Amino acid sequence: MSKEIGITVKKTDNLSEWYTQLVTKAELADYAPMKGFMVLRPYGYSLWEKIRGYLDGKLKETNHSNAYFPLLIPESFLKKEADHFKGFTPQVFWVTHAGDTELAERLAVRPTSETIIYDAYSRWVRSWRDLPVLINVWNSVLRAEITATRPFIRTSEFLWQEGHTVHETKEDADHEVMMILEFYRQLSEEQLAIPVLMGYKSEREKFVGALYTTTLEAMMPDGKAVQMGTSHNLGQNFSKPFEIKYLGKDEGVHYAWTTSWGVSWRLISAMIMLHGDDKGLIIPPRIAPIQVVIVPILYKKTSEDAISSKAKSVSEQLKKSGCASHVDSRGQYTPGWKFNEWELKGVPLRIEIGPRDLEKHQVTLVRRDNAQKMTVADDNNLVTQVLNVLESIQANLITKAKAALSRSISNATEYGEFKRTLEERGGFIRAGWCGDSECEDAIKAESGATIRTIPFQAEETFEKCVRCSRPSGKTVYFAKSY
């Protein structure tokens, strides 16, 4: 009954194949029978629950509430904001029948919920007293993917959260957009240990229907960027067609300002690619569903009970301190097999307890991030030491990731150099841009790179646009992306 659980390809040799094997072998996800869809398995879902729990806490602390809006949206709603409709309609799954009855109007399976939510807001918002409306939704959205799909990265259905808020003024909406972006940064950098570049999207890359879009961009080991989340100020672009108006303190009637923002299970794909190694996942401790796995080493019959009960008591102590620990007491597998499996699954710290450990009143810790092995005394300080090691793993992961992000950034002043760098090493290329969408389109067509982000603060001035050599208004970050 031995299962083939190891990954048969090296990360540096073939990131794509390594990724696919890892996702399925670590039992994070499985392919569904319909092209483009995936199943999120329990271990993957528990990771999503950690992400959701963290962000949900931040949102509730700042007076956001969750709600639920219908899955099916009338076609006429999507059409109310013309750009929005044009942007999403090629990917919409359309419901045409209920049972045997053809529907009078087609219903879209939600590709995003702006339109159905704004219809409700137009009824709920009457006065400045009703503002702000701060609502978030945890749901799934569907966007048909015609091209190749990959678990967590590009699927026809994905889990996400979508926040939709209504404000009195542009300033209030701006503030919301930036506060949410900061929550996303904390989630990404402080929990998932993934450093990001932040800034605006260009007009071409912004959310269809938005006034402006802000983004967080991470860099993967193959030199391609992953968009980690976006936060949009929608201006009055939706409040006007949907008639979201309020009576102001000035007794006048005003169109409200709205924002929307979201992160999806794609965060998980970046975590896998950035931290994983040839043995499997490496999950940052703060976001790990299992932070510590305890493997009892039972090869002397006489000490089995003592070791098993020691393993349980260490686990209980850790749980009391809020540490998610798990004892792997399965009889049908050897310790070595278990080590491999938990390394594959990326548990940050392993504790081994064998007869020798028991004798010496110690336990053996093995770090997942650097394979470092250490023995620590089994005394009152054990829990503190374990917690310290977990924090040290977290710190190590973000430090390494930050260094990799820095290394990935190149400057380019000439178009030849730009294309060469992109081809040879990928990563972010910092360059001047004239601000013209046509130039941006041409760069994409000629090199495959898009403007990932325009920094909030001008970092350094490039005099000329990297492609057309006209004066550069902005320094921007280009990259190929997932």
**Beta carbon nearer to its own copies, 160 or 418:** 160
Q: Give 288-312 as a DSSP string.
A: -SSSEEEEE---SGGGHHHHHHHHH
Smallest distance, its own copies to C-beta of residue 20, A: 16
d(CA 449, CA 447): 5
Residues 28-57 as x/- pattern, contact with its own copies by CB under 8 A:
--x-xxx--xxxxxx-xxx-xx--------
Q: Which helix (H) or strand (E) covers residue 85, if one does?
A: helix 82-88
**Beta carbon nearer to its own copies, 33 or 416:** 33
Tokens of 326: 């798990």
Angle at alpha carbon of residue 266, lines to 328 and 145, rounded to 5°:
125
Contact 47, 28 (CB under 8 A): yes
> Based on the number of CB atoms within 10 Å of its own CB, is 371 exposed (0-12), middle (13-18) or buried (19 or more)?
exposed
Footprint on residues 229-248 left by its own copies (CB under 8 A)? 247
Smallest distance, its own copies to C-beta of residue 131, A: 13
Stretch that binds its own copies, among 136-144, 295-303, 362-370, 449-457 (CB under 8 A): 136-144
Does residue 66 touch its own copies according to CB under 8 A?
A: yes
**Beta carbon nearer to its own copies, 28 or 465:** 28
Contact 267, 276 (CB under 8 A): no
Footprint on residues 76-95 left by its own copies (CB under 8 A)? 77, 89-95
H helical segments located in 191-345: 239-242, 266-275, 304-320, 335-344
Q: Chain centroid to CA 439: how far?
A: 30
Stretch that binds its own copies, among 120-128, 183-191, 212-220, 223-231 (CB under 8 A): 120-128
Does residue 135 touch its own copies according to CB under 8 A?
A: yes
Footprint on residues 151-180 left by its own copies (CB under 8 A)? 156-157, 159
**Beta carbon nearer to its own copies, 265 or 428:** 265
Does residue 67 touch its own copies according to CB under 8 A?
A: yes
d(CA 175, CA 261): 13
Does residue 374 touch its own copies according to CB under 8 A?
A: no
Footprint on residues 264-323 left by its own copies (CB under 8 A)? none
Query: Amino acid letter at 188?
Result: S
Does residue 100 touch its own copies according to CB under 8 A?
A: yes
Query: Greatest CA span in the chain, whole angstroms?
Result: 84
Contacts with its own copies, residue ranges (CB under 8 A) = 1, 30, 32-34, 37-42, 44-46, 48-49, 65-72, 74, 77, 89-101, 107, 109, 116, 119-120, 123-124, 127, 129, 135, 139-140, 142, 144, 156-157, 159, 247, 332
